[in-house]
Amino acid sequence: MTVLPQSTDALYRLNDAVDGFLRSEKEFDLADPAAHMLVGGRFRTLGAQIGSSVLAGVPEEDIAAIVQPARSACARSPLMRDEQEWARGYPSDYRLVEHVVAQANGGTPETLGWHVEANLQQSAITQQYRNRVMHQARLISDVLTAPRNGPRSVLLIASGAAADLRLIPPGIVRPGDRFVLTDVDPDALSLAQKRLGLLNDFTTAVPGNIFRAVNQIAPLGPFDLVLADGLYDYLNDRAAVRLTEAVLTRLCRPGGTFYFSTILAGNPFRWSMEYLMEWQLIERDEASVRALLPGCDVSIGADPTGLTLFTHVRTRRG
């Protein structure tokens, strides 16, 4: 009996996983809503085999070629197609966040794409997005309801359409309070303005890259709370340190809070995201996050899915 080299064996298993995923259309009754669990099982197997192939040393181009038919089939899910195409010119755009928060399924019913999207919307990778939004809404609410004289101010970096701020009841906002939104996509800010309702009266939008917008934003502060959501998932260490320094020295009020979230190292969805979409994230563990914040008062905890780290930095009081 000949023992196959690890990489060759991984290729066989990957081919089988791709074939099994594609056979779902013939082997399952896709008119049954529960079929998304069966499709989901094969989708997860495919992701696991992609990861095994990477770890076995299979060249990236070989993996990509083998999974291409499955990638094409996944494009029938609007959620996955948008991440493949980067229609807005960047990954995880505001439309994806809105889609995930709404727990919508844009696929055609009774198709493979519908079941893939249903599986994704019930998975931990999309739930962690909703957890981020809810956590940020709580942080904003805490600032607005904490006993403090004078107006309160909140800055949302990479705000998208401000799904978190839209959860805030206008009744807890007082005259003089200010929310500042900044995002590279002006359409995201336009959608925020359409959906914020009464909160628009307290909101200022500053379009542009945060590194170039700091000079424009700083005079609108200082801020009691600065939120950067998942921006650090796309910043290398040098850029992350640069942004952190700008926030802590120029934007945050002494005694204020800077918050950002990061995908945790070891993300089990990584291989599906990278090979079946075009979604690369910079993963960090707690030690890596703390290394970005030397000498800071830092509190770090994981979201309920265990996929994301919530980092809170308290600035020193003057």
Same structural domain, 276 and 190: yes
Give how far the C-alpha of residue 275 lies from the chain's centroid of Cα atoms, to the nearest Å: 17
In a domain, 40, yes or no: yes
Radius of gyration, CA atoms only, the chain: 22
- Identify whether the C-beta of residue 12 lies closer than 8 Å to the C-beta of residue 4: yes
Same structural domain, 274 and 141: yes
| Domains: count for the chain | 2
Parallel, antiparallel, or unpaired for β 153-157 and 178-183? parallel
Same structural domain, 88 and 201: no
In a domain, 95, yes or no: yes
The pLDDT assigned to 3 comes to 37
- Give the residue from 76, 106, 122 where a domain finishes: 122
Q: Which domain does 260 fall in, by range? A: 126-314
Q: At 233, which CATH number?
A: 3.40.50.150
Same structural domain, 111 and 142: no
Q: Long-range pairs for 27-33 at CB < 8 Å and ≥24 separation? A: 30/110, 30/111, 30/112, 30/114, 30/115, 31/110, 33/118
The pLDDT assigned to 6 comes to 67
Cβ within 8 Å of residue 229, ≥6 positions away? 132, 136, 156, 157, 158, 159, 160, 164, 260, 261
Taking only the tens place, the pLDDT of each residue in 255-283 is: 999 999 999 999 999 999 999 988 889 99
- Give the residue from 122, 155, 188 where a domain finishes: 122
Same structural domain, 79 and 135: no
In a domain, 141, yes or no: yes
The pLDDT assigned to 5 comes to 60
**pLDDT under 50: residue ranges of the chain:** 1-4
The pLDDT assigned to 165 comes to 97
In a domain, 1, yes or no: no
